[in-house]
Amino acid sequence: MKNRLELVVVQWEDAYVTFDFEEHEPCIVHDVGWLIEDEASHVCVASELLPNNTPRGVTRVPRSLVRRIERIGRKRSKRIV
């Protein structure tokens, strides 16, 4: 994990299943949390950090579904409020 964690908003298009073969509007999702992984294949965002900086509530999104990542700020990994 990085020394300095970034707080981000990840906007991504959710996948869906349909049985009626009709076109549907994309479902756009916004996840807010700590950027745990930022890889070529995917991003991971944790909604919670435990006192020892262990992430919890991690969402993994394939990079192909990510529309935008907005960086909100940074936090030193040693200090957890």
Average pLDDT of the segment spanning 11-29: 87
The beta strand positions in 3-54, using DSSP E, are 4-14, 27-38, 42-49
User: Residue 81: is its pLDDT beyond 70?
Assistant: no
pTM confidence score: 0.78
Taking the C-alpha atoms of residue 40 and residue 64, their distance in angstroms, rounded to an integer, is: 9
Average pLDDT of the segment spanning 15-35: 88
Average pLDDT of the segment spanning 18-31: 87
Fold of 4-76: SH3 type barrels. (2.30.30)
Give residue-wise pLDDT tens across range 26-59.
899 999 999 999 999 999 999 998 888 889 999 9
pLDDT for 80 equals 44
